[in-house]
Structure 1
Amino acid sequence: MKAQDKNTGITKTFDSYEAQLVTLYPNELIDFLGGLEPLKRINIFGHRIIFVMMEMLKSTQVHKLSVDETKDIISNDLMERDGRFVSLQDIRMEEIEKRRLLESGKKLAVIEESYFADNFSMFQMIIPTKALNDNGNIKVKDNSVFHEQLKILKALGNHTVKSNVGEEYLITNFIETPIFNKGQNYIRFYISKATAKMLLNNIDGYSKVYRSILFSTPSTMPLNVYLYLKKKLGKMNGGNIKIQKFIDDLSLASHYSKKSKLTVFLDGIQKKLNEIGNISFGYKIVEDSIVFSLYETNNAAVIEYQSIDDYRGKNALKYIKKSRKLNDKQMVYIEAKMKEYGYEKMSTVTRSRLDVNIVGADYLKWFVDKCIELNL
């Protein structure tokens, strides 16, 4: 995807952005929100709000009155609706009751306001906090984590909206007039048609974010590393990244340049992605680089990468061939067994304690005998 800088007229490619949240949003949306620096203020709770906003716009019908209906409501105190005459006051009370039900958190709501800020059409979004916590499965200390992010989202995406009638203009932001009350079960705010259009145009790119990572961690870091590696190495299922570039791109603290600190960090992210991601990674630190290998986890619904069992099996075969000094012909039987039973079962053989001096034909004989002993 490409986006054009309004000030310079220069078209930016996706690779123009290399920092923290580079793959989370397409260029057009990054530019709309003000660039990379403002995005760094959005934490995991803010990203959940944006994700749910996109889900709402994608799946929820936008309710709007027709021009004729609006004129009737404005000009008449009594009108026919659904075969009955109702007063304007009745209509107002019905709308208030509908709004009350929506705000009670029973469902997500997107409502187009026909008149807002002197005739500037806006969408009001009502989001139950339960939706931001994966139907209550994710625990937060209190709803203030979302209230704080509303303030940040309110400061992003500055743009101008023309009025529906006349030549008036409204300066607005990504969201407008956020409303919340501590202890209540929803948040609500307005968005312009420009914001709604921007989100709708970028749903496909954002939907590639693996949902469980966004809703199963209190930190953006597993999400950032996941997206970073998927963009950098996803097509090849692996590759090398310089340690300093990895640190700079993900805005990590400088102490991660120490390999001992970096190892602890990568082990933690790897473990988390194994639990909640559709892909995770194996890695090896070699001099000033990290060698990554991506693999599919047990959480994946669609096979895009080699499975974690395949990944471990291939690594085990490489290690056996090198450490036991086997040639290609001697490896045929071992590779066939690994393919037939998989790493998990064959690990009872490959991880058995055995003198390091047993190599070549002697190792192959031992391997065959061990398989027979274990009925493999």
Structure 2
Amino acid sequence: MANAVFYSNVAQQTTLSGSISSGATSITVGATTGFPGSFPYTLALDYGAATEELVSVTAAAGTTLTITRGYGSTSAQSHSLGAVVRHVYDATDATAFRTHEAATVAVHGVTGTIVGTSDTQTLSNKTLTSPTINAGALSGTFTGSPTLSGNVSFSGSPTFSGSPTFSGTANHTGAIQSTQSASTNVSLAAIATGDTFDRFRAYASGLHEWGPGNGARDTNLYRSAADTLATDDSFSVGGALSVTGDISAGATTWTSFTPTWTIGGSPATSTNVGWYKKLGKVVWFEVYTTWSANGSGTSQISFNLPSTPFRDGNGASTTRQLAAGGWAVTLNVASNGAIMAQVLAGGTGGTCVIAFYDTSSFQSQYIANGTIMTLQGWYREA
């Protein structure tokens, strides 16, 4: 930091080389031997006389000095040729030292308050780089993107805005509340190292989203109406599902499949379509078939389900499972009734055989040209 005023212990007394008026801004002296080489410094004109005036020298060109008049509360006056000129230390300097000693702010050339090592102080407008704070109490608003590591503990009601990053373990007491300006804003998000997308997000609206981390989030859960929790995706339950209200699967779309029939005489079909949809492991299915030729023989008619039925544990090859449903045909004398389509035990196939209520077979010979058959039912999927 530059000095406010400069001094010399070897400056020699000199005289004015010409008279000056009270308004002159430069003087010429006989010599500048020992005068300070830096500016400003103080000279007394007419040193020791009643007309003594202090001036501040701000520049020099040889023995010609640029001055500020009436320095140190003295008065600018006219001075004659030969007036004594002397480098001095004046009351302004002494007062500045005493003021500096008593100062509690703006000391040592620093704008603001000096930070003491043991004083109780309030710091304002300070930037701390890599500080270590032990057992401190923080209050107010912190802006930017601070990083807090280690076992950070917050108490009271801290508020975080911007993009704070927490690593390690953050312990908290009380509630954590995120206040957002819009319901579509993210309140909470989680991402794993190396991910390009958040694996989890919770929005101010209550919407929750999940994803794989390397792609967009593809699964959600949200409140769709009063007392209603919904998802636009599939919902899988690994354990028991206890329901006290209604379950709606209306958002689940039907998937098409083509039924494969086993029937004697191999009559052709003009229409042979099927649809299914899933609710957990339960599959609901529907088949619509129009036969374009007569069947023949006494073999029992069967068709394949859209997916493999469930067989669990040690009973996988022995336990029967019923695919409950019904059928109806038209344009045939045997058109009335309903069936239980039975999934046979053993194997991994999903074949349904068709029978009357009395368990007698619905045979191939009952199919005539133009017969329309519809089947509806459900079963548990593998």
Q: TM-score, normalised by structure 2?
A: 0.22
Q: Which has the higher contact order (CA 8 A, sep 6+)?
A: 1
User: Which protein shows a greater Rg?
Assistant: 2
TM-score, normalised with respect to structure 1: 0.22
